[in-house]
Chains A and B, each alone.
Chain A
Amino acid sequence: MPTTLQDLQIDYDKPNWCPGCGDFGIWVSLKNAIVQLDLKPWEVVLVSGIGCSSKLPYWVKTYGFNGLHGRPMPVAEGIRLANNGLTVIVIGGDGDQFAEGGNHWLHAARRNVNLTLLIHDNQVYGLTTGQFSPTTNIGEKNKATPVPVVEAPVNAMQLALSAGATFVARGYSGDNKQETELLVEAIKHKGFSIIDTMQPCVTFNHHNTFAWFYERVYKLEEHGHDMTNKMQAFERAEEWPLRRPLNEGEKEKVATGIFFKEDRPTWEDGTPQIAQTPLVKQSLENIHVNPLLDELM
C-alpha cells in the first residue's frame, strides 16, 4: 500500500510552533515529499538537534532521534553506516547547523554521505528567544549585541559548494510546492544534499518576514541557471546574503532552487564492510579471535 499523509500523522500531539511560523510549511512539505516518494515511514529516520525547528521529528510518524544542539549530523552519519537501507534526514536550525554544529556538515559534505540536511534558516535563535545567529543580516539590531550586528552572515550555498556537497539548494518555506520538489530531489539524490530553507520566524525576526521574502525570492530554473556548473552556482550564491550593509534603494535578490548537483561516490560506497549486508543485519554469533591470538605466539 502506498504511503499516505495519514500514515505520517501522529495522534498524541501536534506542533506547538507559534501560529504562522515558517516551520509549518517545511513540516508539510517534508511529509508531502515522503508521500510522493512513497517511502515506508519505518524506513525513514529524522534526526534533529535542538531548537524550535528541531522539534519537527516529534510530529512526523517516522523513526526519530532528537539529539544535542548542533550534533544531529554525526548521529545521522552513524545511522547511515549502520543501516544504509534507511532514508536519513537531518533537521536543524541556523544556530544548530551553522554555529554549534557547523563543523560536522562540512565533513559530511566532503564525505558525500548519502543523506539530506534540511536547515530551517530563520536567521535567528528561536528557542532561546531571539538572539542573533550566524545568518543574521549585518546591521540587524538585536538583544544579543549592544551595537547592530557587524559579523558577515554565513553564505550557506558557497560553503556547501566549497565543502564538496553534491546537491546544494535553497528553499523558502512560503512555497510548499517548490520546497516539496526540492526535498524529493534531495532525498532521491545519491550523496550529500543540503537544502537551506528560508523560514520566517514570526516572533523574533521582524525583518525577514514572509512579505520580505515574497518580494525578493526568484527561482533559479526560471533564470536559465545551469545546475551542473559549479562556478555559475558560486556566482549566483554571491548575490545573497550580503556581506555589507544594504545600499540606499537597493533590494536584495534571493535565489531559490537547486544551485548545484553532481554525482560522486558516497561514503557508503567507500565502505566495503557494508557492501553486501548492512551492519545491523550481520550476525554477532560465531565470531572467533583465536586465529588472531595465535598470531601473537
Chain B
Amino acid sequence: MIDLQWLIGGEAGYGIMTTGLMMSKIFTRLGLHVFDYVEYPSLIRGGHNAYYVRASDEEVTSQKKTVDILVALNADTIKLHVDELSPNAAVIFDPSVLKLTVEQFPVSVRLFPVPLLELTKKVGADRLMINTVSVGASLALFHKQFDVLQKIMQDTFGKKGDDVVALNNNTSKAGYDYVVENFGPGLLADIPIGSQTRLLIGGAEAIAFGAIRAGLKFAAMYPMTPINTIMTTLVAHALKYNIVVKEPEDEIAGINMALGASFAGARSMVATSGGGFSLMVEGLGLAAQTETPIVVVLGMRPGPATGMPTWSDQGDLRFALHAAQGDFPRIILAPGDMLDAFEGTMTALNLAEKYQLPVIVLVDKHINESHATVESEKLKVISDTFVVERGKILTDQEALAETDYKRYALVEDGISPRSLPGQQGGIGLSGSDEHDEKGLYNEEADMRIKMMDKRYAKLAKAIANNEFPAPRLIGDPDAALTIVAFGSTKFAILDAMRQLKKENISVNFLQVSFLEPFPSQAFTEMIGKTKKTLIVEANKTGQFEGLIRERTGITFEHHLRKYDGRPFYPEEIIEKVKALQV
C-alpha cells in the first residue's frame, strides 16, 4: 500500500504554493488519491510556508501527521518539521545551504543532498526556481519516468509560451536526473502510472465552478483570506461565461451592490470572511426585509478581529446564525468537502431565488484552500443533473397583465412573485422599512405581524418542499460510535473512520449539512438509533453542540474541540475514539 506525505518548507516568496500544487498534480496524474494542505503566515515574504501533499492508492481525505518526503529549502524547515518525520523519511536539501547529517535526526532518515542552486544556474533559471528543481528531484524518488511532469509543465505553462514551458521542464528535469544519476531511480517507492479517473480540485474552485454552473451573473468581492481564490477563479472565467465580478470599496458596498444586481434580476453572490461579514451584517438584514435573493459565502478563520488570517476555524457558526437585527428567515448550509462545496453553492443560488431570502454558505480556510482528488464523473453527474430554479419571477407578459401589482402580496406560501425593473406593469417598491403589500412603509401592528409571518412562511414552504435533506449517516449504521460534525471536519473524520475500520473499530459519521433551518426532527430520529456519540468541532465554546442542544434538547457526553487554527488530523480523532473504548 502506498500512503506518502510529501512536504516542502521554505520562506514565503519562494514559490512554495505553486510547487506544492504541482506535486499534488503529479500524484493525481499517477492515479493516486490526493489531499493537500498548506500552512502559511499572513506575510508575502519572509514567513515560513509549508505545503503538505498526501497521496495514497487507497482513499485519503485528509493530511496526516507524519512526513515521508521532506523538501527543506531552509534551516527553519528542519527545525519546525523534524518531529513530523516518519522512520526512513527522505530529506531533500541543498548541501550548499544546509549542512545535515543523519545523526541530527531523532529517527533514521535518508538524506538526499541535491545542489538545487547550482542546478538552476546550470539550466539558466533564476534562483527562485529551486523549488522547481526540487519537484523533479522528489519525483525521482517514487516514479521511474519523467514524462508525467513534462506533460504537467506543458498543461500548466502552455499558455505562457514554449519558452516558459521549456524552462520549467529543463529545471525540473535537472533535479530529476540528478537524483537518478546520483542515487538511483525510485528509491523510496516505485509508483506506476495508474488509470486516472479523478481530478484535483480546491474548495474555493469547487465553490466558484458551482456558482458558474448555477448561472451566477454578478459577484462583488473584497479580497480577504480565505475567499480570494473564489474571486480569482470567477475572474478567470468571467469573460467566457459573462459574469460581472467587481471589487467594491468595502464589504458594505459589496453586499449592497450584489443586492442591487439581484433586485434588478441577476443571480448574485458575495464572499468574505468574518471581518468582511461583520461589515455585511446590516445588508444581510436588508436582503431579508426587501426579500432580495443573495448568497453569502462565509469562509471562517480564527477571530476575533484580524485573529489568525491564514488559519482555519469554525467559530463563526453562531455569528452566521444570528447576524443582523431582528428575526428573519435565513438558510445556512455547510459543505464538508469539495463535492459538497460544488453542489452546495449551486443549491444555495437556487434556494436564494426560489425563496427570496439570504443564504449563507458556511465554509472555512481548510476547505477553501486545500485540494483533493474527486471522481470527475461524480462532479459531472451533479453538474449535468442540476436544474436552475429561479422561483417566482414574472415574465414581461405576466407583468404587463398586472393591474394592481403588489411586490409583497400576502400569498399563502409567503413567496410573492417578483417583478423586475424594466417590466411594464410591475412597478413596485422594495423597502427596508416594514411595509404593506405594495412595499409602502407601514407600522400598523396587524400588518407587521402579517409581514413577519409571510417572511417565515417562505421557510416553512421550503421545508415542506423537502429542500433540506436529512443529515447524512456515513458508514456502518450499527457502529458502536457516531461522530457528529459539520463542515470541513469531515475530511479528517472520514479518514479516521477508514483507519479505524482496519483495526475493526466501527465508527459512523452523522454529517449535518444544513444548519439553518436545523433538521431537528430527522436529527433526533437519527441520534435515537445511535449507541454512543462524539461531537467534533473547531471552536472553543462548542457552538455546534450548543445549537443542537437548543434545537433538539440533545446533549453530548463526549466532545472533541480544537481552536488553535489548525485543522483536525485523523490521528487526533482516532486517539479520542480509542480513549472512549468503543
The residues of A with any CB-CB pair to B shorter than 8 Å are: 12-13, 40-43, 45, 47, 50, 55, 57-58, 61-68, 71-83, 85-86, 103-104, 106-107, 271-274, 277, 279-280, 282, 284-285, 287-290, 292-297
Contacts and interface: CB of A to CB of B under 8 A. Distances in A.
B217 A296 contact: no
Interface of B: 28, 155, 196, 199-201, 205, 209, 212-215, 217-218, 220, 237-239, 241-244, 246, 248-250, 252-254, 256-268, 282-283, 286, 290, 376, 379-380, 383-384, 388, 390, 420-433, 438-441
A74 B252 contact: yes
A289 B199 CA distance: 14
Given A68-B256, A280-B420, A292 B209 contact: yes
Contacts of B248: 74, 107
Contact of A12 (B426, B431, B438): B438
A66 B428 CA distance: 11
A81 to B, nearest CB: 5
Nearest to B282: A68
Contacts of B209: 289, 292-293
B422 A82 contact: no
Nearest to B442: A13
Contacts of B433: 66
A151 B405 CA distance: 47
Contacts of B256: 67-68, 71-75, 78
Contacts of B266: 81-83, 279-280
A61 B427 contact: yes
6 contacts: A57-B429, A65-B431, A68-B432, A82-B262, A290-B384, A294-B199
Nearest to B200: A296
Contacts, number: 208
Given A50-B432, A287-B215, A279 B244 contact: yes
Nearest to B249: A107
Contacts of A63: 421-422, 426-429
Main secondary structure of the interface of B (DSSP, over half): mixed
A66 B383 contact: no
A279 B261 contact: yes
B263 A104 contact: no
From A40, A63, A79, A277, name the one whose CB has the most chain B CB atoms within 10 angstroms.
Answer: A63
A3 B258 CA distance: 31
Contact of B422 (A274, A280, A293): A280
A42 B422 contact: yes
A6 to B, nearest CB: 14
A83 B265 contact: yes
Contacts of B441: 55, 58, 66
Contacts of B262: 78, 82
A85 B266 CA distance: 14
A50 to B, nearest CB: 7
Given A78-B220, A81-B244, A279-B244, A64 B430 contact: yes
- Which interface residue of B237, B241, B376, B422 has the most chain A CB atoms within 10 A? B422
A149 to B, nearest CB: 27
B242 A282 contact: yes
Contact of B427 (A42, A47, A82, A86): A42
A57 B430 CA distance: 10
A207 B121 CA distance: 77
Contacts of B265: 82-83, 279-280
A273 B244 contact: yes
- The listed residue with most A CB atoms (<10 A of its CB), out of B214, B248, B266, B431, is B266
Given A71-B252, A273-B239, A293 B379 contact: yes
A77 B257 contact: yes
A73 B282 CA distance: 15
A75 B213 contact: no
A65 B376 CA distance: 43
